Amino acid sequence: MNPSNVFLASSVFRDRAYDLRQTVRAAVFYRFAGVQLYLSRDHLAGEFYLKQVRALAAPALLKVLVHLPDDFDDFFLPAVEILLSHQREKRVVVHYFPGMGIPPWPGVVWGLENAFSGGDEMYFEELDRVAGEKKGFLVVDLPRLFALPVARREDLVDFTRGVLRKMDAGDVLHLIDFPGDDPSRKNWRVLGAGNMGLFAREIGAFPGAIVLEYESLPLALKSREVLEGWRKSAV
């Protein structure tokens, strides 16, 4: 498979301190379209390390998203610029909290991700509105919608389908899978073996980037195979 929109997250190397270099090497070797690199405060002093990461990604034409922690500040900007200087768009993902300020970093296109478990219609309306106002993009962690018990599961399924319908090619999906409403790591499954299987057609037809946020490379690779099947079925 040579997917045009499936990204590998650095979370797959959780056991190696989320190694960014290893993530890029794996994405190139397994022919992912891109990577999502989680940038921690520990990376800010590692200019040479970050330049090595970029040097691995750029020749491979690997698309790079940067994901910042919730406590990010302007000290992260130089690291973002190093990692993304080879790209026309510097796409950066942050969790969105109501009323938070979005800094005017030069050249950065902000992706705003749902930060809370469950499906709150008013929150998602604000998320979509602010992303539009900032000329950014929407990032939806789809499994997070199912991380709370609900009275009527069918209502949550309908709400989720509505969220997916509003997304376009510039937006991003974050995916893992688990059954029920227990998102703990021990409950993670290959894509389709939990709640996400309900949206196989919608995910298979999704035109934007899909980031597999597993913490295991084998699980991410198996889930990509599932995505390939969903995409073929959606055609």
All domains in the chain, ordered by first residue: 6-234 (3.20.20.150)
The pLDDT of 74-99, averaged and rounded, is 96
Q: What pLDDT sits at residue 3? A: 55
Residue 79's alpha-carbon distances to 48, 87, 96, in angstroms, are 10, 14, 21
The pLDDT of 178-191, averaged and rounded, is 96
* H/E segment holding residue 133: helix 121-133
Contacts of 102 (CB under 8 A, 6+ apart): 94, 110, 112, 130, 134, 136
* H/E segment holding residue 202: helix 200-204
For residue 16, is pLDDT > 50?
yes
SS3 content of the chain, % helix, strand, coil (to 5): 45, 15, 35
The pLDDT of 44-62, averaged and rounded, is 96
110-158 pLDDT tens trace: 999 999 999 899 999 999 999 999 999 999 999 999 999 888 889 999 9
Q: What pLDDT sits at residue 4? A: 74
Q: Is 214 exposed, middle or buried (0-12, 13-18, 19+ CB in 10 A)?
A: buried
Confidence of residue 1 (pLDDT cuts 50, 70, 90): very low
